[in-house]
Amino acid sequence: MPVTVRFAPSPTGFLHIGGARTALFNWLYARHHGGTFRLRIEDTDRARSTQAAVEAILGGLSWLGLDWDGAPVMQSQRIERHAEAARRLLAAGRAYYCYCTPAELAAMRERQRAEGRSIRYEGIWRDRDPREAPPGVEPVIRLKAPQTGETVIRDHVQGEVSVANAQLDDLVILRADGTPTYNLSVVVDDHDMEITHVIRGDDHLTNAFRQTQIYRALDWPVPEFAHVPLIHGPDGTKLSKRHGALGVEAYREMGYLPETLRNYLLRLGWSHGDDEIISTEQAIAWFDIDGVGRAAARFDFAKLDSLNGHYIRSTSDERLVELVAPRIEHLLGRSLDGAARARLQAGMAGLKPRAKTLVQLAQSARFYVAVRPIALDEKAERAIAGAGATLRALAAELVGTQWSAAALESRLRGFAEERGLTLGAVAQPLRAALTGSTVSPPIFEIMTVLGREETIARLEDAAAMAN
Ligand code: GLU
């Protein structure tokens, strides 16, 4: 049977970073096997599901490059089909009407608690004649679950896990108002979507037992399961807001590239030897669900940064300009013209080795497109203090200098020597004058990108300020 997997998020917020990893594993599994990757939006909880959240999920997946096959299935539109499955089980004698009132159930729980027993439905209506039903009670439908033996799952990540059937009670599959319960909906959808492998977070492992019972009752094949450990924070507790951002969107905002996140999330729980940098093509070729570890992986922000630095360095200057220009426009509050973009493009090779995020890259590229007179930070102000005459003389010197990094370097060295100054004593105020800061790419590269006219003008601006 061809591999068909799915990602089934509940649209109650953003695309969670853990959900993104689940989606990635499913996507890789499908692409590796030439199978199908479906998307199902589990929006049956109408009160908590929002259209904005659906869009955030679709947007997050698209940004990550995790394209799904076919149209997304909206679970809420399939409620009738789920209910029909419940009625089919009822007709086959594999489910039954339960007329217990909420008060009766509460009393039962109370008694179990008092006796120190586990809380479970005791099958009160399992074999009782529905003709004994009290008037005015709308029944729920419960699964007639097996009472002896055990339910076993051979999970691709967790190994063989089993539960004694005596521990599982008769699950409600259809509520009194005719709506299906969660586990029934998941089973019917996965069956109808012809899902062969269910790859999801291990917080759903207990559901897998319930779902297995429902599959068997419906005489449907049970899919393969792979329950992936959740992501933990650096301190080993479940990843939460206090560790950092949880939404994929936030990582995009913070200036991470989608390929960084794909690579990072892949390594979070899956490995291929000691490889840290794994391209998407390699990931597709190598990915296998059996390689997912059983221990929870810890989110390591420093590693994410260093990986992002790698991907920024290996991204073309053109694409980086495309990514960074809107951020700079936002910082400056104006749009960039062609000349400004050309300058960014020319300066990108020198800027990108230093940036860990697009936010840093935008920040460090600002001076290239700043309008004169450019603002100087405090350190830069200190660097030009008392250097007015030097800057002015340098500006005059540059009028006739050949405009290449090599020629500029040799001219600057000559200029310093002639005045009995160190190269640094000239280069520091020069850097401050040209960039408004004291850290930047190599100064000669900056001069070639800015061009003669702009360089001289910035030197004169700074000389005037230094006096
Ligand atoms: N909707 C569930 C969730 O968001 C996933 C259900 C499943 O994968 O079976 O966690």
Q: What spacing in Å lies between the alpha carbon of 188 and ligand 1's midpoint?
A: 14
Ligand 1 atom index nearest CA of 207: 9
Q: How many CB atoms lie within 10 A of CB 306?
A: 13
For residue 216, report the distance from its CA to the centre of ligand 1, in Å.
Answer: 20
Q: How many residues does the chain have?
A: 467
Q: How confident is the model at residue 290 (pLDDT cuts 50, 70, 90)?
A: confident
The CATH number corresponding to 315-369 among 1.10.287, 1.10.8, 1.10.3470, 1.10.4030 equals 1.10.8
- Using a 6 Å CB cutoff, which residues line ligand 1? 8-10, 42, 186, 200, 204
Q: What is the atom index within ligand 1 of the atom nearest the CA of 203? A: 10
For domain 78-228, say whether CATH 3.40.50.620 is its number.
yes
Q: Does pTM surpass 0.85?
A: yes
- The three-state DSSP-derived secondary structure of 329-350 is HHHHCCCCCHHHHHHHHHHHHH
Give the separation between CA 321 and CA 369, rounded to whole angstroms: 12
Cα of 385 from ligand 1 centre, angstroms: 62
Domains 78-228 and 378-466 are alike in CATH topology = no
Strand partners, 421: none
The residue whose C-alpha atom lies closest to atom 3 belonging to ligand 1 is: 9
Closest atom of ligand 1 relative to the 7 alpha carbon? 8
Tokens 């479970």 correspond to 120
Ligand 1 pocket test, candidate residues 14, 153, 200, 203, most atoms within 8 A of CB: 200
Distance CA 152, CA 161 (A): 6
Q: Among 23, 37, 26, 28, which Cα is nearest to 71's?
A: 37
Q: Nearest residue CA, atom 10 of ligand 1? A: 9
Question: Residue 208: its pLDDT value, please?
Answer: 98
The catalytic position among 144, 238, 241, 303 is 241
Which residues have CB under 8 Å from 295's CB, separation 6+? 229
Q: Give the pLDDT confidence of 177-186 residue by residue, as tens digits.
A: 999 999 999 9
Tell me the mean pLDDT in the region 406-415: 95
Helix (H, G, I), strand (E, B) or coil at 185: helix
Domain ranges of the chain: 78-228, 315-369, 378-466
* Residues 195-236 pLDDT 10s: 999 999 999 999 999 999 999 999 999 999 999 999 999 999
* Pocket residue to mutate for ligand 1, from 5, 6, 7, 10, most atoms within 8 A of Cβ: 10
* Distance in angstroms between the alpha carbons of the first and the last residue of the chain: 80
241 is catalytic: yes
Q: Which helix (H) or strand (E) holds 367?
A: helix 358-369
Q: Going by CATH, does the domain composed of 378-466 fall within 3.40.50.2300?
A: no
d(CA 240, CA 233): 7
The pLDDT tens digits for 323-350 are: 999 999 999 999 999 999 999 999 999 9
